[in-house]
Amino acid sequence: MLFAADVLERNPGAMIIYDVKCTGRLPGHILRHGGSPLMWKTGHSLIKAKMRETDAELAGEMSGHFFFKERWYGFDDGIYAAARLLEILAARPQSPSETLMALPDGVATAEIKVEAPGGDPHSFVERFVAAARFEGARLSTIDGLRVDWPDGWGLVRASNTTPVLVLRFDADSKEAMVRIKSDFQAQLLALDPNLQLPF
């Protein structure tokens, strides 16, 4: 959010890419700062390719990879990202803690990894996408199935690197989180009652 607001001060209307695991509060933040948000697939090479295709100024993944085109070369570099963050924080009159605490907040899980049935997460996700029914939500199949409600979202996707399902949940309140997890749990277990879900 801080990187997007900073880049957009100098590049109004710029495309900002984020992966499907990022908070649901990010696109609104980008729009409020005059940018164009684009949700895309998780993965280093996938994000870089989408940046080149769209000429985006910035991209970020929930995992902490940040890709800067503005004043950099369009690839992720942890030291460079840290320097950019320090630059932003040093330019503000508030303390770093005050700046970070002012960002929109909610309730979120870390990545939840579940062993895929038969060791084939892609096949399971395809079946889940076909069978899932979520009322009052917007569904995205960019990378697995992300289901967005006005107060939160849930995601099931196949890992790019291991035979697991990757789940993540994000909500505005604990109550919304409980409801969203429960809806996902019911539909996942309806598809495969033997899934070992840790929620």
Residue 59 lies in a domain: yes
For 30-65, how does the pLDDT look when each residue is reduced to its tens digit (9 = 90+)? 999 999 999 999 999 999 999 999 999 999 999 999
Contacts 24+ apart (CB under 8 A), 89-97: none
- pLDDT at residue number 146: 98
Asked if 94 and 17 sit in the same domain, the reply is: yes
Asked if 57 and 77 sit in the same domain, the reply is: yes
Report the C-alpha gap between 140 and 137 in whole angstroms: 10
Range of the domain at 164: 107-191
Instruction: Judge whether 96 and 82 are in contact, CB under 8 Å.
Output: no
pLDDT band at 195 (very low <50, low <70, confident <90, very high): very high
Which of these three, 70, 101, 132, is where a domain ends? 101
Asked if 92 and 121 sit in the same domain, the reply is: no
pLDDT band at 97 (very low <50, low <70, confident <90, very high): very high
Beta bridge partners of residue 149, listed in sequence order: 152
Of the candidates 160, 159, 184, 158, the residue with the CA atom closest to the CA atom of residue 170: 184
Instruction: Judge whether 152 and 171 are in contact, CB under 8 Å.
Output: yes
Average of per-residue pLDDT values in the chain: 96
Quote the number of domains for the chain. Answer: 2
Asked if 122 and 82 sit in the same domain, the reply is: no
